[in-house]
Structure 1
Amino acid sequence: MAKDKAPAIQVKTYASHHVITQPNPLKKVLHRAEGKDLDDPIARAEAALAGLSGEFKSWMDTEADRLSKAYAAVLKTGFDDNACEEMFRATHDIKGDAATFGYPAAAEVADSLCRIIEHAPDLEKVPAELFEHHVNAIQAIVHDHTKYDSVTVANELSRRLRRVADDYLVQVNRDRPEHLEAILAPSLVPGDQP
């Protein structure tokens, strides 16, 4: 059997440059699948997520309880390194998981709380009510998620908490420009809107 001759390199010449196009050597080894045999990884992922969606509520309950325990430890021992780190991790996990699990307002509140923990110069001087309101808001969003009007209330609550937290952080970081830039930057939380 005669070998197919490789296509030649094409050169197009223009006044100021040349465009060289090399043939794709992989075309010979590429296998085209029939339309009925195509695998759709996105559809598989969505189906897998739908299969797990019944677990989302219990996972969010677990994460919210973890945050409550971390906050209780902070109230008991103060912001020592271990308590502060556990509270930040619990909050950060909620921030990352909540939107995927169907709790975008909880993700927004967790983002706001993470920002306080990251950017407050002295956590001991942060008003206790600011922490308490964030933790309670996450608990309420997670536990009351099934109520009809709770989405609107949760979205408004998360926006107001973010505004209060940002106002506080701007005030206490007025002499720390590197923190102000991060505080004034828009949120990266999915679904978060200014």
Structure 2
Amino acid sequence: MARNSPRDIEVKAFATHHVITQPNPLRKVLRRVEEKDMDDPVGRAEQALAGLSSEFKDWMAVEAGRLAAAYAAVQKDGFTKEARDELFRAAHDIKGDAATFGYPSAAVIAESLCRVIEHAPDLAKVPGELFSHHINAIQAIVHENTRLDSLSVSGELSRRLRRVADDYLAHVNRDRPEHLEAILAPSIVPGD
């Protein structure tokens, strides 16, 4: 970086102090843009998202179908490593995408399902109803057009499923304190 010469530095003396101002070297590389030519990347992203929004329902239906297929494979073959991983990935993808696509309750339910898969000591001992209730709730939210939680039922369903899953996980992990902290932590999914 180039050093400033003593003549480039401005010193203003006051009765109690001095103010030293150095020239800003970035001014040489800064390019001014007229207000009408300013780029708004957030606005462009929102526009692109709005253009794609008609496809969100289809994308969520595909993700919900993938989750159901993953659970069907578990029911058929048991919790093999591949089946467990696919079930987790399908739920995790919904957890990440659902709020963006307008299904925040589905994201909360998918997070709850991910937590069961992550923290249950033995997935084969988890009641099948806990899995099927999560999967059926996600499919109902996606297929019944409950975008943006227009029905308070989907929000209440997601809260109850999370509570049931947390109670189950706290019970089965009562002798595993290293898991209890993660289980009892609040949700990080938007819309919870």
8 Å contact kept, 1:110–1:138: yes
Of the structure 1 ranges 54-63 and 172-181, higher mean CA displacement relative to structure 2 is found in 172-181
Given the superposition, is the C-alpha separation of residues 126 and 25 from structure 1 closer, same or farther in structure 2, using an over 3 Å criterion? same
8 Å contact kept, 2:109–2:158: yes
Provide the rounded CA distance (Å) in 1 between the counterparts of 2:80 and 2:131: 16
Q: Displacement of 1:65 after TM fit?
A: 0.3
Provide the rounded CA distance (Å) in 2 between the counterparts of 1:190 and 1:26: 39
8 Å contact kept, 1:141–1:150: no
TM-score normalized by structure 1? 0.87
SS of the aligned residue for 1:186 comes to coil
Provide the rounded CA distance (Å) in 2 between the counterparts of 1:152 and 1:95: 19
- State whether structure 2 residue 129 is matched by structure 1 residue 126: no
Q: Displacement of 1:32 after TM fit?
A: 1.0
Alignment of 1:152-167 (within 5 A): 152-167=152-167
Counterpart residue number, 1:72:
72
Counterpart residue number, 1:190:
190
Q: Name structure 2 gaps, 5 residues minimum.
A: 14-18
Amino acid in structure 1 at the alignment position of 2:168:
Y
1:49-97 per-residue CA deviation (whole Å, 9 max, x = no partner) reads 0000011000000000000000000000010101100000000000000
Provide the rounded CA distance (Å) in 2 between the counterparts of 1:8 and 1:149: 60
Given the superposition, is the C-alpha separation of residues 35 and 115 from structure 1 closer, same or farther in structure 2, using an over 3 Å criterion? same
Counterpart residue number, 1:115:
115
Provide the rounded CA distance (Å) in 2 between the counterparts of 1:148 and 1:45: 20
Given the superposition, is the C-alpha separation of residues 172 and 8 from structure 1 closer, same or farther in structure 2, using an over 3 Å criterion? same
TM-score normalized by structure 2? 0.88
Alignment of 1:16-165 (within 5 A): 22-146=22-146, 151-165=151-165
SS of the aligned residue for 1:59 comes to helix
